[in-house]
Amino acid sequence: MKKFLKEFETFIMRGNVIDMAVGVIVGAAFQAIVNSLVNDVISPLLGLVANMDLSYLVLTVNGVEIRYGAFITSVINFVIMAFVIFLLVKLINKVSELGFKKKNEEEAPAKPTTKICPYCKSEIPIDAVKCCHCTSDLAE
């Protein structure tokens, strides 16, 4: 039993399990934001143009109600939510890409334009094949 608990502790303390737990928690918080955006902002705006609540559409077969309108409403809400998530992820990627490019541009060292002759140790152009100081042929 002690060995089992030790293995469980090792499994739980792995970095990927903790990363996954953090991802689930952040995902839940992000879901609340997206739900609020869709339900409180986008759906009411779409409600001005079209009736988004189709839950009143019901088909009765042998006394059993098939609420296909609620299903259609759920599909529409899913498509709206997926589109909003797509836009948010695209925006986040664009913002992080801009920051990453700016950081890389600052850190990228300039390419050298000169090199040192191995024979006379003089500084010569990088693309030189013969040293202008000692006239030695330089190996490529």
Q: If you search the block for the tokens 């928690």, which residue do you land on?
A: 25
Q: Report pLDDT digits (tens) over 91-104.
A: 888 888 887 766 66
Tell me 120's DSSP state: T
Q: What is the bridge-based pairing of β-strands 64-66 and 114-116? A: unpaired
Q: pLDDT tens, 57-109?
A: 899 999 999 998 888 888 887 888 888 888 888 988 888 888 776 666 666 67
